[in-house]
A and B are shown apart, each in its own frame.
Chain A
Amino acid sequence: MNYELVCGLETHVELATKTKIFCSCTTEFGGEPNTHCCPICIGLPGTLPKLNRAVVEYAVMAGLATNCEISPVSKMDRKNYVYPDLPKAYQISQYDMPLCRNGRVDLSNGRRIRLNRIHIEEDAGKLVHERGNTFVDYNRGGVPLIEIVTEPDLRSIAEVEEYVEKLQMILRYIGVSDCKMQEGSLRCDVNVSVRPAGQEAFGTRAEIKNMNSFAHMVKAIEYEYDRQVDLLMSGEEVVQETRRYDEESGCTEGMRGKEDADDYRYFREPDLVTIRITDEMRETLRAKMPEDPQKRLTRFGSDYGLPEADARLLIEHRRIADYFEAAAKGTKNPRAAANCILGQMFARLGSEAEKERFDVAVSPERLRELILLLDAGKIRMNLVKSTLEKMLDSGKPASDFLNEKDLAGLSADDLKAICEKAVAENEAAAADYRAGKGKALKAILGSVMKATRGRADPQEAERLLAELLKK
């Protein structure tokens, strides 16, 4: 029998606000333990939370970008549980009135992943185990999160991957999160169940907690799919439970049984007032939102003639996409602008973080000047690359290098003379070419390019050489 995979995801995303959700402490990653803390985020007796307005705005933007309905009225609730990294012994979250509902993310295969809700909540601190002791670091306590919950609409690992990638792209794009899985700013809980292909009813699901790497998530789902199918095939039942993924063994294992089912005793957070989002606030935020990355991807193809793979790379970081558009605007060679970015500029940026910052010595206006020189024929395509290198090294405009000997244009006569000289100096190759070995021309062209230090237009030189060799 064939079994179908059914997945639902709960994705926790850390918001990129400067300060925490209920106090004005920094959200910066790392730092000496317990230095990004104040009486409020360590839950000292008598302190009260104060909801950071930016958190609500970012969450609304995330909702708008995923086609959610934004609730005009929502509230915060307390989720009570005892764990040392949770300073108040409750997490302030949203229970029955989330900020955003009924959204969607569309996949490339045409399937629509429905989002049940997006709500806001605070992160906990973390436990550090050292020398047989356990220490608590509250630097991350109170960092704002959104939790994005899908319906069980995902049907394959490829869909899960595409969904998470798409979510990352959307959220980075609108600037609400950097979505770095390795730094924990994007974590997934995956609900996995299987059912015989064609069956309508869902199977019993297991929840795999806290996946913070793509590779592990894929392996965990694969393992869990196999485990559940094996169980069903051998006539056993899948138990509803929470499981964790063990990186070393590559297996998932049960965390706790049914008997200690969680009872979080949710109730309304009495220290915070009702959250109201007026139509006006929602529309103001909508107006502030950048273009939908999916639409932009299509537009990059139609407006600039970029191949999809290139467009996708540019769009992954909004700053880069904006840079590209500023550089390509009004030029005849947008693909050259894209190549400059994806080639030399990317080569200089090692990490994803550097790409995210996109701190390059050449402004988009300067790159645009270079492309306009190319459009005007003042610089040849094959010299764009070396000119850009000089610009990136020096921060100077392209026009500064135009008069340099190496970049100056080559007259037709000069080129002809050089080609004639090259034919004369490469007798053997010339003979081979005349004997029908077309490849031999490349060798002669090579010496032309060398002699002109790249100034020659290779196509023009090739045409000239062929003409000379016919004689």
Chain B
Amino acid sequence: MEQHGLISKIGGLLRSGEISCTELTKKYLETAEQENGRLNAYVRLTPETALKTAAEVDRKLSAGEKLSPLAGIPMTLKDNISTSGIETTCCSKILQGYVPIYDATVWSILKQQDAVLIGKTNMDEFAMGSSCETSCFGGAKNPHNTERVAGGSSGGVASAVAGNLAAFGLGSDTGGSIRQPASFCGIVGFKPTYGAVSRYGLIAYASSFDQIGPITRSVADAALVYDAIAQYDPMDSTSSDKAAPAFSSLGKDIRGLKIGVPKEYYDGIRPDVKAALENALKVCQSLGAEIVEFSMPSIKYSLPVYYILACAEASSNLGRYDGIRYGTLTEHYADRDEMICRTRSEGFGAEVKRRILLGTYVLSAGYYDAFYKKAQNLRGTLVKAFEDAFSRCDVIAAPTVPMTAFPLNFTARDAVETYLTDICTVPVNIAGLPGISVPCGFGSDSMPVGLQLIGARFSEPALLNAAFQYEQAAGDDVFRALETGVAR
């Protein structure tokens, strides 16, 4: 497996001495600085931290020390992952100036493995949005076409990785926030099983859905990063010790693999997207996989269940931003209530306010049973539906998004219309399953289309292997077009 993926390739160059980590880091920093005006992928560059780590990696390399596969690799973190000493704002005005005093577990792991942080990347405010445009810094652009969005909410990471401003990045996926921008930008986005990666230090949007995962240029890279960060963390009670290493299991053939195709996922998707997906399924069949068609009627509840439960949790998680301990306090107020009210009115953007209000409403006395409780019950129904599905097949294949990247400012027109674009990604978060988006061609607008593969809980090794086999087989057709040239 050594030869596969960008990370292994860069690692090889570093180990062979063809390039020093300091040179490599400088190159990425320069590109990031030059390109960021165009892409707005980064909201903060961290050259000092990056060059310090790079120097340390060079020292270790020359001393012949054994290094982790991620050592010296230029990477980025979404701006909702806490980095001690580095401002972390969730791209919200209310958190501007907030510098955490502790590291998120995923960042301490990567730090320990000498990964090189180039900067913090753009996102929808508090991870709420599907286009990255709710960011207080303005949206990230799609490297394939800067008139299009990079997707959301982890749009900055996807834009940085697709535009070669970082070799990989970590995003967070609450309802599709890793997979959707990866699909829009033509790269790989992987959301692991809920609990496989620690959430400690991830600034919460909706706690029972949030999941950190890698955004990379290949499945092999995703597996490598996943193996590093999928560790049991005593600081997160919902963290599990069941995660098995995935990288080493890549490369097994998928003859006889049953790929489930629930028809509801394909209803109403754009014809060119559907064509790309059908093509992808043919590639899988040519590898010996078997297509199993069935129906999952409860999929239709996914969106309301997701928006009710996620907004309920968000309304509670975001209650702490009152300007008292951190964040931007309003300037004019008469008493404490007004101080908190004005701080929140001025600090939060429209989308965040909309979700806080929705969440507060569905939890209120008198509405709780009709909305929250009902949604909780339906969540159980969906979990069960997936269990049934995985008794018929090994992985599910679905579109990641029923369309390609939208033009800029498209989503501002209609919030509900935008919510509908999450239809294929949210079921995975509701059921806590692993899901990966792999590029599978282009739409009629020449924008990338993503194939989503979904696995049973903690089936990462098999799921990533299936994605890897497809990627390898489709490689020449799909990836040549996506290759925009890095670290050659």
Which positions 416-453 of chain A face chain B at CB distance < 8 Å?
none
B-contacting 9-mer, from A82-90, A158-166, A285-293, A325-333 = A82-90
Which positions 324-379 of chain B face chain A at CB distance < 8 Å?
324-326, 336, 340, 360, 363-365, 368, 372
Interface residues on B, range: 35 or more
Which positions 261-290 of chain A face chain B at CB distance < 8 Å?
263, 265-267, 270-273
Closest A-chain residue to B210, C-beta based? A270
Interface residues on A, range: 20 to 34
Closest A-chain residue to B376, C-beta based? A268
Provide the bound-state CA to CA distance between A84 and B82, in Å.
23
Partner of A45, one of B82, B236, B237, B313: B82
**B322 pairs with A270, CB closer than 8 A:** no
Provide the bound-state CA to CA distance between A49 and B315, in Å.
18
Provide the bound-state CA to CA distance between A78 and B360, in Å.
13
Partner of B316, one of A39, A47, A84, A90: A90
**Residue B203 lies at the interface, judged by CB distance under 8 Å to chain A:** yes
**A265 pairs with B95, CB closer than 8 A:** no
Closest A-chain residue to B81, C-beta based? A46
Residues of A within 8 A of B360 (CB): 265
Cβ proximity bits A21-65 to B, threshold 8 Å, 1 near / 0 not: 000000000000000000100111111111100000000000000
Residues of A within 8 A of B236 (CB): 48, 50, 271
**A48 pairs with B319, CB closer than 8 A:** no
Partner of B101, one of A39, A271, A273: A39
**A273 pairs with B102, CB closer than 8 A:** no
Cβ proximity bits A244-274 to B, threshold 8 Å, 1 near / 0 not: 0000000000000000000101110011110
**Residue A80 lies at the interface, judged by CB distance under 8 Å to chain B:** yes
**Residue B468 lies at the interface, judged by CB distance under 8 Å to chain A:** no
Q: How far is the CB of A82 from chain B (nearest CB, A)?
A: 6
**Residue A136 lies at the interface, judged by CB distance under 8 Å to chain B:** yes
Provide the bound-state CA to CA distance between A266 and B364, in Å.
9
Closest A-chain residue to B327, C-beta based? A45
**A47 pairs with B324, CB closer than 8 A:** no
Residues of B within 8 A of A51 (CB): 237
**A270 pairs with B202, CB closer than 8 A:** no
Provide the bound-state CA to CA distance between A50 and B236, in Å.
7
Closest B-chain residue to A79, C-beta based? B316
**A42 pairs with B235, CB closer than 8 A:** no
Q: How far is the CB of B191 from chain A (nearest CB, A)?
A: 17
Partner of B365, one of A47, A88, A263: A263
**B364 pairs with A45, CB closer than 8 A:** no
Partner of B320, one of A39, A43, A50, A270: A43
Residues of B within 8 A of A270 (CB): 206-208, 238, 313
**Residue B169 lies at the interface, judged by CB distance under 8 Å to chain A:** no
Residues of A within 8 A of B441 (CB): none
Provide the bound-state CA to CA distance between A263 and B315, in Å.
14
Closest B-chain residue to A134, C-beta based? B336
Residues of A within 8 A of B200 (CB): 46-48
Closest A-chain residue to B364, C-beta based? A263
Residues of A within 8 A of B326 (CB): 44-45
**B237 pairs with A273, CB closer than 8 A:** yes
**B201 pairs with A47, CB closer than 8 A:** yes
| Max count, chain A CB within 10 A of own CB: residue among B88, B200, B202 | B200
**A271 pairs with B207, CB closer than 8 A:** yes
A89 touching B322 in the complex, CB below 8 Å, given contacts A45-B100, A45-B203, A48-B199: yes
Partner of B325, one of A42, A46, A48, A271: A42
**Residue B312 lies at the interface, judged by CB distance under 8 Å to chain A:** yes
Q: How far is the CB of A138 from chain B (nearest CB, A)?
A: 9
**A267 pairs with B372, CB closer than 8 A:** yes
Residues of A within 8 A of B288 (CB): none
Residues of B within 8 A of A90 (CB): 316, 319
| Max count, chain A CB within 10 A of own CB: residue among B80, B237, B312, B340 | B237
Closest B-chain residue to A50, C-beta based? B237
Partner of B202, one of A46, A49, A84: A46
Which positions 67-89 of chain A face chain B at CB distance < 8 Å?
78, 80, 82, 84, 87-89
**A50 pairs with B234, CB closer than 8 A:** yes
Q: How far is the CB of A419 from chain B (nearest CB, A)?
A: 79
**B364 pairs with A84, CB closer than 8 A:** no
Q: How far is the CB of A43 from chain B (nearest CB, A)?
A: 5
**B237 pairs with A48, CB closer than 8 A:** yes
Q: How far is the CB of B122 from chain A (nearest CB, A)?
A: 18
**A89 pairs with B235, CB closer than 8 A:** no
Residues of B within 8 A of A267 (CB): 312-313, 316, 363, 372
**Residue B104 lies at the interface, judged by CB distance under 8 Å to chain A:** yes
**Residue B77 lies at the interface, judged by CB distance under 8 Å to chain A:** no
Q: How far is the CB of B410 from chain A (nearest CB, A)?
A: 30
Partner of A87, one of B102, B313, B325: B325
Which positions 345-397 of chain A face chain B at CB distance < 8 Å?
none
**B82 pairs with A46, CB closer than 8 A:** yes
**A265 pairs with B364, CB closer than 8 A:** yes
**A44 pairs with B100, CB closer than 8 A:** yes
Q: How far is the CB of B404 from chain A (nearest CB, A)?
A: 33
Provide the bound-state CA to CA distance between A48 and B198, in Å.
10
**A45 pairs with B365, CB closer than 8 A:** no
| Max count, chain B CB within 10 A of own CB: residue among A45, A49, A80, A273 | A45
**A89 pairs with B365, CB closer than 8 A:** no
A89 touching B316 in the complex, CB below 8 Å, given contacts A45-B82, A270-B207, A272-B237: yes
Which positions 292-313 of chain A face chain B at CB distance < 8 Å?
none
A78 touching B104 in the complex, CB below 8 Å, given contacts A48-B235, A263-B364: no
Provide the bound-state CA to CA distance between A271 and B312, in Å.
14
**A271 pairs with B336, CB closer than 8 A:** no
**A46 pairs with B316, CB closer than 8 A:** no
Q: How far is the CB of A93 from chain B (nearest CB, A)?
A: 13
**Residue B204 lies at the interface, judged by CB distance under 8 Å to chain A:** yes
Residues of A within 8 A of B90 (CB): 45
**B238 pairs with A273, CB closer than 8 A:** yes
Residues of B within 8 A of A266 (CB): 363
**Residue B266 lies at the interface, judged by CB distance under 8 Å to chain A:** no
| Max count, chain B CB within 10 A of own CB: residue among A39, A43, A48, A87 | A48
**Residue B406 lies at the interface, judged by CB distance under 8 Å to chain A:** no
Q: How far is the CB of B360 from chain A (nearest CB, A)?
A: 7
Q: How far is the CB of A6 from chain B (nearest CB, A)?
A: 26
**B100 pairs with A46, CB closer than 8 A:** yes
Provide the bound-state CA to CA distance between A101 and B238, in Å.
27
**Residue B390 lies at the interface, judged by CB distance under 8 Å to chain A:** no
Residues of B within 8 A of A273 (CB): 237-238
Residues of A within 8 A of B364 (CB): 263, 265
Which positions 112-166 of chain A face chain B at CB distance < 8 Å?
136
Provide the bound-state CA to CA distance between A273 and B238, in Å.
6
Provide the bound-state CA to CA distance between A234 and B69, in Å.
83
Residues of A within 8 A of B307 (CB): none
14 sample A-B contacts, Cβ–Cβ < 8 Å, listed by A number = A44-B102, A45-B98, A45-B326, A46-B81, A46-B104, A47-B102, A51-B237, A80-B316, A82-B319, A265-B316, A267-B312, A270-B206, A270-B208, A271-B236
Q: Which 9 A-B pairs have the closest CB atoms?
A: A89-B319, A265-B363, A270-B208, A270-B207, A45-B203, A46-B201, A46-B82, A46-B203, A263-B365
Known: A39-B102, A82-B340. 13 other contacts (CB 8 A): A39-B100, A44-B100, A45-B326, A46-B80, A50-B234, A80-B315, A82-B319, A88-B319, A88-B320, A89-B319, A263-B365, A267-B313, A271-B207
